[in-house]
A = this chain, B = another copy of it.
Amino acid sequence: MSDLLIDWDRAARTGVPEAVYCEAKTPDQITRILAQTVERGTRMLFTRLDPGTQAQIDPKGLLDYDPISHTGVYGGSVNLTDCGAAVVSAGTSDAKVVGEAKRTLEFMGVGAPTRQDVGVAGLWRVIDAAKDLQDRRVIIAVAGFEAALFSVLAGLVAAPVIAVPTSVGSGVAQNGQTALGSALASCAPGVVTVNIDNGFGAACAALKMLNAGGHGPAQMGEMP
């Protein structure tokens, strides 16, 4: 088991706990990590865990598993605090990434209102959403295709916008490269970007911002 070296103290050092990224791991590796977690009695988040693998590595149903966001939580849920975060998305197809961001926030004790399907092709939807977001401290925006949402939104609100480009789209938008370019080249200052489809990373960054401003959740990651 010498290939597993979990960074248990990450939360103490950086404010965000380690999580298990399952996509490139074998079921056997995930099973051993889960066993270590159970043994230690620590809460743990598993991301990019597809339903087939979840069934295989968690036959007893130890995880609180969500099939849309492909996330599983060990150790139960904690009380949620509205710390000023929000999640906004351009289309129905972005629901998976939205879910990963929301579930990560919730794992860390942060509750966040969500506005989905507010793409700029129907501009009234963005303008409408922006009104509700005026008092937010940080906004996670999720969009694929040309991801014009990032620039439009950042021009309408005061909060920093964490852009999560998604791999939703076809042709030149395939794999999210166009949405990523759109986020990075945004003409609206104050947009910051995370990797394509990286809802988890956006949630961690949001938490770090909230913590740094003194608005983070009171407790996080303790076994309830």
Cβ-defined contact, A197 with B170, below 8 A = yes
A184 to B183, CA, bound (A): 12
Is residue A101 within 8 Å, beta carbon to beta carbon, of the partner chain?
no
Cβ-defined contact, B205 with A160, below 8 A = yes
Please give the count of copies of this chain that the complex contains: 8
Cβ-defined contact, B170 with A23, below 8 A = yes
Could you say which residues of chain B place their CB within 8 Å of the CB of A7?
121-122, 125
Cβ-defined contact, A152 with B155, below 8 A = no
Could you say which residues of chain B place their CB within 8 Å of the CB of A14?
154-158, 188-190
Is residue A54 within 8 Å, beta carbon to beta carbon, of the partner chain?
no
Cβ-defined contact, A193 with B196, below 8 A = no
Cβ-defined contact, B195 with A171, below 8 A = yes
Cβ-defined contact, A209 with B211, below 8 A = no
Could you say which residues of chain B place their CB within 8 Å of the CB of A154?
14, 121
A174-224 interface with B by 8 A CB criterion: 174-198, 200-201, 204-205, 207-215
Could you say which residues of chain B place their CB within 8 Å of the CB of A29?
92-93, 95
